[in-house]
């Protein structure tokens, strides 16, 4: 049913249950995991002109490498992993990659924010769910150790 699973990661420790779910689904369906790290350069547009973009860019790409290494470590031999790093807005990069690379499923974390937090902060997961051309499995992540890892499917 699934051949290509898109797994966006931000490199946070809270991503572990999300990666676990993606690995389990990929193993069950003999699927390839597209591990995607999005460098959101727009967040640094307001820096003073004298700030070296090269230094910041290098740090961001080091974070990407570390995040993708962690995906490979957790997935281990459950499924093959393709590493992808792009510069864009996260929700746009995720939706575009799912479409352009014929992914069948997106597995991503969500903090489950509601109310005013969601209105003020926005939600990458919510934007992806609304715009994605494929089903999205969201796995709730918490700041503290995760004990409830039930996924939520949205088509």
Q: What is the pLDDT of residue 110?
A: 87
Prediction pTM value: 0.83
Give the mean model confidence (pLDDT) for residues 135-144. 84
Which superfamily is assigned to 4-154 in CATH?
HUPs (3.40.50.620)
pLDDT digits (tens, 9 = 90+) for 76-135: 999 999 999 999 999 999 999 999 999 999 999 987 666 655 555 458 999 999 999 999
Decide if 104 contacts 31 (C-beta within 8 A): yes
Q: Considering the chain, what is the average pLDDT of its residues?
A: 86
- Looking at residue 10, what DSSP letter applies? -
CA distance linking residue 37 with residue 10, whole number of Å: 6
Give the mean model confidence (pLDDT) for residues 6-13. 95
Complete DSSP assignment for 74-139: HHTTSS-EEEEEEES-HHHHHHHHHHHTT-SEEEEEE----HHHHHHH--HHHHHHHH-SS-EEEE
- First and final C-alpha spacing in the chain: 14
């Amino acid at each position: 049913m699934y051949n290509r699973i898109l797994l966006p990661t931000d490199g946070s420790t809270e991503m572990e249950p999300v990666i676990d779910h993606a690995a389990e689904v990929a193993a069950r369906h003999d699927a390839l995991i597209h591990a995607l790290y999005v460098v959101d350069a727009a967040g640094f547009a307001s820096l003073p002109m004298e700030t070296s973009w090269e230094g910041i860019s290098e740090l961001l790409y080091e974070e990407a490498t570390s995040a993708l290494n962690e995906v490979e470590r957790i997935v281990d031999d459950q499924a093959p992993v393709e590493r992808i790093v792009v510069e864009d807005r996260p929700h746009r990069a995720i939706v575009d990659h799912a479409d352009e690379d014929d992914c069948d499923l997106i597995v991503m974390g969500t903090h489950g924010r509601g109310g005013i937090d969601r209105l003020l902060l926005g939600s990458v997961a919510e934007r992806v769910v609304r715009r994605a051309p494929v089903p999205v499995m969201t796995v709730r992540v918490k700041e503290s150790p995760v004990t409830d890892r039930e996924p939520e499917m949205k088509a």
